[in-house]
A and B are shown apart, each in its own frame.
Chain A
Amino acid sequence: NAGVMQNPRHLVRRRGQEARLRCSPMKGHSHVYWYRQLPEEGLKFMVYLQKENIIDESGMPKERFSAEFPKEGPSILRIQQVVRGDSAAYFCASSHSRGNYGYTFGSGTRLTVV
């Protein structure tokens, strides 16, 4: 009974490259949430998705960042033309329903931009 799986665990990108972060929710969970945690700071909400739909992207930067959760496959957080300020831990969580308290978080992807 695997939990939320995020990969890769660590990702190094040069400035200007693209970063793709993957999140496979828990089995039976159709709601996915992405959070970003900058070094020594708290978690910041980025985006909430259901299958094939973006429900709330109020925390997403306006440029270079996008997210999807296709009908089949994992949710993807894509960062284009990365800059050093994108270096952070990116956490994904999933839940069975919107009201379910059971947000289960993955172990995160640590992105380092060099």
Chain B
Amino acid sequence: DAKTTQPTSMDCAEGRAANLPCNHSTISGNEYVYWYRQIHSQGPQYIIHGLKNNETNEMASLIITEDRKSSTLILPHATLRDTAVYYCIVRVEHGGSQGNLIFGKGTKLSVKP
């Protein structure tokens, strides 16, 4: 079972920042937070991941709270092409079945013009 809780759906206006929350209150010290997204009918796409510190790449920013019990994925300027299901996953970096990516239900983000 997924170890994360995400809202079922969210809307965002085109050009505005999309902030997607994720709760992972039972996260362990050696578990990373990963974000993937799945655009309709396509394979999942890696976005970003982090352990403790905030992370930024060309796609998004990841803000992790100090206690690591929650995080927020930020798409700074959402476009219509960002409409997708966004998955927040906690995962051990190495080792056995604990290292498998386990997908929950995710958040369906709808970017509207």
Contact = CB atoms under 8 A, between A and B. Distances in A.
B57 to A, nearest CB: 11
Nearest to B106: A42
Contacts of B43: 4, 91, 93, 105-108
Q: How large is the interface on A (under 10, 10 to 19, 20 to 34, 35 or more residues)?
A: 20 to 34
Interface in B28-49: 32, 34, 36, 38, 41-46, 49
A45 B98 CA distance: 12
Interface stretch (B16-24, B66-74, B75-83, B89-97): B89-97
B: contact size bracket:
20 to 34
B112 interface: no
Report whether over half of chain B's contact residues are helix, strand or loop; otherwise say mixed: loop
Contacts, number: 54
Contacts of A89: 41
Contact of A56 (B41, B100, B103): B100
Contacts of B41: 89, 108
Given A56-B100, A89-B41, A101 B105 contact: no
Contacts of A103: 36, 44, 46, 101
A48 B104 contact: no
A7 B101 CA distance: 22
Interface string A33-61: 10100000011110010000000101000
Which 4 pairs between the two chains have the least Cβ-Cβ distance? A105-B43, A43-B103, A99-B94, A99-B93
